[in-house]
Amino acid sequence: MSLLQVDIQSAGYEKDIAIVQDINFTLEKGELVGLIGPNGAGKSTTIKSILGLLDNLVGTVKYDSKETYSYIPERPIFYDELTLWEHLDFVAAVEGLSDQEYKQKANELLEIYYLADHSHEFPIKYSKGMQQKAMLILAMITNPSFYIIDEPFIGLDPNAMKLFLASIQKERSRGAGILMSTHVLDTAEKVCNRFIIIDNGKLKAIGTLDEIRTQCNLKNGSLYDCFHQISEGNQNEK
């Protein structure tokens, strides 16, 4: 069974006003799927539908009750009066994590992302890049079955981006699936197994890069070339 099965017939923020329609895809074990689309295409609405945050959803989002997921939003969110370590304690308590196991993994991640010396400081006072790394750590300590990540590269310098990519590769090697929304197409092209291209609230192309190329009639096109053709085509239709 797929880690995640998404069948959104329509979804939006107001009744009878659909922002996205006919969005269908799956996420498999160990797979990294890139959710691609211009601003306003419907990526955030799709993610909110998966997370169960929209009342106006027609369709289904399925995953096994034994599976767990972590969501990493585009804009980091923290409690004002909790240090990073207190955030870690809070997540561990909510998820019922083994004290020894979670502390070992937390310490490893804090060292990897160079936040060990800042773990008893308030994340709201971190730089944007440090906040993004803190959110990654909070998501990873739970060992989720799959991740939903919204624009993970914003605020990360090249070294932090390299660390992030290494971390998600390690998560994939244990079978975790990753759905990642991003505008960084050159990086997505290198690391994603498949792509979901959304524009104007509808699914425009889905598959591996070769399959996307076939759908766009661009034999040797890059992901950016395919993305640009789809976006330009939709502009011409308006």
Torsion sign over Cα 133, 74, 182, 177: positive
Q: How far apart are CA 75 and CA 66, in angstroms?
A: 28
Contact criterion met (CB below 8 Å) for 155 and 129? yes
Closest CA to 135 of 121, 118, 149: 149
Per-residue pLDDT of 101-122, as tens digits, reads: 899 999 999 999 999 999 999 9
Q: Give the largest Cα separation in the chain, rounded.
A: 58
pLDDT of residue 117: 97
Contact criterion met (CB below 8 Å) for 177 and 3? yes
Tokens of 81: 């009066």
Q: Quick one: average pLDDT of 217-226?
A: 93
Angle, helix 99-112 to helix 84-95, in steps of 10 degrees? 140
Tokens of 68: 């767990």
Q: Quick one: average pLDDT of 211-233?
A: 90
Per-residue pLDDT of 12-21, as tens digits, reads: 999 889 999 9
Contact criterion met (CB below 8 Å) for 147 and 176? yes
Kindly state which CATH superfamily the domain 4-68+144-237 is placed in: P-loop containing nucleotide triphosphate hydrolases (3.40.50.300)
Would strands 4-12 and 32-36 be described as parallel, antiparallel, or unpaired?
A: unpaired
Closest CA to 86 of 127, 43, 121: 121
Q: Where are the domains of the chain?
A: 4-68+144-237, 78-143
Work out the mean pLDDT of the chain and round it to a whole number.
92
pLDDT of residue 160: 84
In this prediction, what percent of the chain has a pLDDT beyond 90? 79
Residue 127, φ and ψ in degrees, nearest 5: -70, 165
Per-residue pLDDT of 59-75, as tens digits, reads: 999 999 889 999 999 88
Q: What is the DSSP string of 83-132?
A: -HHHHHHHHHHHHT--HHHHHHHHHHHHHHTT-GGGTTS-GGGS-HHHHH
